[in-house]
Amino acid sequence: MMNKTITLLLLSLGSLHLEAQHMMNTDRMDKRLKAGMDSTASLEIDNETFLHHPEIIQQERAAFTRNNPAPRPENIQVSDVFVNSSRDNYKIRLHVYQAKNFDADHVIVYFHGGGYVFGMPEQVDEQMFKIAADLKATIISVDYRLSPQYKFPIPVLDGYDALQWTVSNGKTALNINPDNIVVFGASAGGHLAAAVAQMAADHQVKNIRHQFLLYPVIHNQLNTPSMNEFVDAPLWSKTAASAAWLHFLGKEKMGQSIRFADLTNFDKFRQLPPATIVACELDPLRDEDIAYAQQLYKAGVKTELWVIPGAVHIFDLFSSPLREEFYRFMIDKMEKVWWNSSINIL
């Protein structure tokens, strides 16, 4: 059961353990994390399959998630809400987790990972159950449409439509305070959370109190020092990143800097909500995360950046003290966000 649970978690936050001829030197990894990874069966996905046959990965991941459900605690209520896409009236599914003793002011709009290509809210059920319980929160997890079948901007627009529904209907449908939203996402989901925050600023929607971005994808330039250093890194690599962007943008737009796809191509940084960005020292995404935090700093946006020494992409999915340290940090951060909001500091 433990192996199934860990394998399911490995599928969750937008990262692939891709095969590589020469893996990076793991001596720089946190030894506690490495021990956790060594004790877990690795997940290998063929590069060629991910690039040329992403539908196979989609089908396998969806089947695994459906066939390995996480047991729901009695103190968590789960429901689905369907909202119309503003683009084509597609029914966007929102998977809602709500603690029975929920605090109406504790609201999270969450975006799962999956490299834009695979994933669904249920793949992180176990994590969401725990977060909802520990924070007495309502978590609205967006089942956004996946690439390459649905390329940019559809996944971002699905996320923004979910935010709009939460703002307009959250109070009556879920008894929550829609003025106290934290957008939260990891990896590709972190990119979507940040893009939705930018889109909200563009439309002068001010209901987002904070954006919590866990090793987020920031742009499609693929040219930072860390991206070039960790070409063959475990769990996420430059090869994987390139394929993910190709699926997300399409070949014609692959090299373009497009608003809400390239998060650095934005002209209203001062209007963005405060942010927490968690990056990993040994992650190809490290330097774009650091640079994005610097853009927020320069714009006067309250931003906390934590680059975790010795961590690799999706480090938090492996049993280790490092994962526990991160979890305590995340819970503490969100509690502070909502406490500050309650006394009108933010």
What are the tens digits of pLDDT across the range 136-171?
Answer: 999 999 999 999 999 999 999 999 999 999 999 999
Architecture of the domain spanning 2-16+31-342: 3-Layer(aba) Sandwich (3.40)
Selecting among 12, 141, 147, 187, the annotated active-site residue is 187
Asked if 88 is an active-site residue, the reply is no
Which pLDDT score is estimated for 93?
Answer: 98
In whole angstroms, give the CA distance from residue 77 to residue 59: 27
278, 333 Cβ separation under 8 angstroms = no
pTM of the predicted model as reported, rounded to 2 decimal places:
0.92
Which pLDDT score is estimated for 46?
Answer: 73
Which pLDDT score is estimated for 7?
Answer: 42
Residues of the chain with confidence (pLDDT) below 70: 1-23, 41-45, 343-346
Which pLDDT score is estimated for 344?
Answer: 61
Which pLDDT score is estimated for 263?
Answer: 98
Which pLDDT score is estimated for 1?
Answer: 45
Joined tokens for residue 208: 């987002």
Selecting among 143, 313, 319, 341, the annotated active-site residue is 313
Selecting among 161, 283, 287, 289, the annotated active-site residue is 283
Asked if 210 is an active-site residue, the reply is no
Domain ranges of the chain: 2-16+31-342
Which pLDDT score is estimated for 260?
Answer: 98
Which pLDDT score is estimated for 54?
Answer: 96
**Chain centroid to CA 288: how far?**
15
Which pLDDT score is estimated for 16?
Answer: 42
Which pLDDT score is estimated for 43?
Answer: 54
Asked if 283 is an active-site residue, the reply is yes
Tens of pLDDT, residue by residue over 60-112, are: 989 989 999 999 999 999 999 999 999 998 999 999 999 999 999 999 999 99
Which pLDDT score is estimated for 20?
Answer: 37
Phi/psi class of residue 93: alpha, beta or left (left: φ > 0; alpha: ψ in -120 to 50)?
A: beta
